[in-house]
Amino acid sequence: MHISDGVLPTSMAVGSYAVSLALTAWSVRKTRGDDLPKVAVVTSSFFVASLIHVPLGPTSVHLLIPGLVGILLGSSAFVSVALGLLLQSLLFQFGGITAWGANSLMMGLPALTAGWLFALIKGKTLFRTVLAGAICGGLGVMLAGTVLAVLLISSGEDFLGVAKIALVAHLPVIAIEAAISAFTVSFLYKVKPELLRTAFPAAT
Amino acid sequence: MGAFSLLNRFSLWFAAGLILGAALFALKASAQDFQLSRSSPPGREAGQLAGQNDKPNRFEQCDQIMAQLQQQKHLMTRELAQIKRELVALREHLSRPGMQEIFAGIGYILGLVGIAFYLHCRKLRKGP
């Protein structure tokens, strides 16, 4: 799920760049200084996660983990995703550099949504927290597919067709990421619950 | 001196004759050989001697060669397809990011966040 160079029309690429830069600036301002080490670790994980391929029939899809980034970082998630995608496009040639804005929106908006939702629905108990983690983890990938479809309307694709393909191809990823998020959240809940507590200051 | 010169001359003519004879013999043999190879390949001599008609035999041979060529072409095509597949796989393998890129990226992330952290700490120290 990466948009390559030259797929989007110029106006769309420039517009998404502007929105992404604005969101990144907002995200940086929202980031508390004490959270920076956490941001670094989660960004590194996000950067590397896309190299983990899940074989699926003749093709393979890779992990995306926008949901988990959102859960762990809250409003700082956008800068994390933007930085990770910038380095991915520079070093791995995943997605084009001109499509960086669109790719950041595609991963960053689901991350913010997942973080906001997680802060909203996580309860006090372990079960409720884990359930919220699983839902938000799966939701991140689903939303990413939806945003991809919305972005590709501008290049003349048909929305429902793209959305269907993206969602069907990523069904295993959705399941795997829900499981990974649930596992991570349950582990953190037991070991270091304060990592989950202040995830999205805006929602609390 | 005179006798020696006579003997000498005789032996000279004798040697020249020998050489000429050998050369003629070799020329004749090679000409025969050439004619033989041109008129018919060695394998078909028996058929020709038996007085069979020449034309169907030639067509048959042509067909044989054609079949062999086609078989060879088929084998070559298959091998070429295999090599092309391997080439594609190799190209994909080469374009896949390696350890170097991964650690470079992680290093960039840690470095950038480290700078941000440094600025944050400097602000904290100056603040109060």
Number of domains making up chain A: 1
pLDDT (tens digit per residue) in A54-99: 776 666 678 889 999 999 998 899 999 999 999 988 888 777 788 8
Structural domain range at position A79: 10-197
pLDDT at residue number A130? 92
Question: Which of the two residues, B3 and A92, has the higher pLDDT score?
Answer: A92
Interface with chain B: mutation pick from A24, A44, A90, highest number of B CBs within 10 Å: A44
How confident is residue A203, by pLDDT bands cut at 50, 70 and 90?
very low
pLDDT (tens digit per residue) in B62-121: 999 999 999 999 999 999 999 999 999 888 888 777 788 889 999 999 999 999 999 998
Contacting A residues, span 79-108, partner chain B, CB-CB under 8 Å: 83-84, 87-88, 91-93
Across the interface, do A33 and B102 touch by the CB < 8 Å criterion? no
Where residue A93 sits, what CATH number does that domain have? 1.10.1760.20
Question: What is the ipTM metric for this complex?
Answer: 0.82
Question: Which of the two residues, A22 and A162, has the higher pLDDT score?
Answer: A22
Is there a domain that residue A203 lies in?
no
Q: Is A43 on the interface with B (CB under 8 A)?
A: yes
CA-to-CA dists, residue B63 to A97, B37, B53, B60, B74, angstroms: 60, 21, 17, 5, 16
pLDDT at residue number B41? 52
List residues of B whose CB lies inside 8 A of any A CB.
95, 97, 101-102, 104-106, 108-110, 112-114, 116-117, 120-121, 123-124
Is there a domain that residue A4 lies in?
no
Asked if pLDDT for residue B47 goes beyond 70, the answer is: no
Among partner residues A33, A83, A91, which is closest to B112 by beta-carbon distance? A83
Q: Is A52 on the interface with B (CB under 8 A)?
A: no
How many angstroms away from the CA of A3 is the closest CA of chain B?
18
Over residues A99-109, the mean pLDDT reads 91
pLDDT (tens digit per residue) in A130-146: 999 999 999 999 999 88
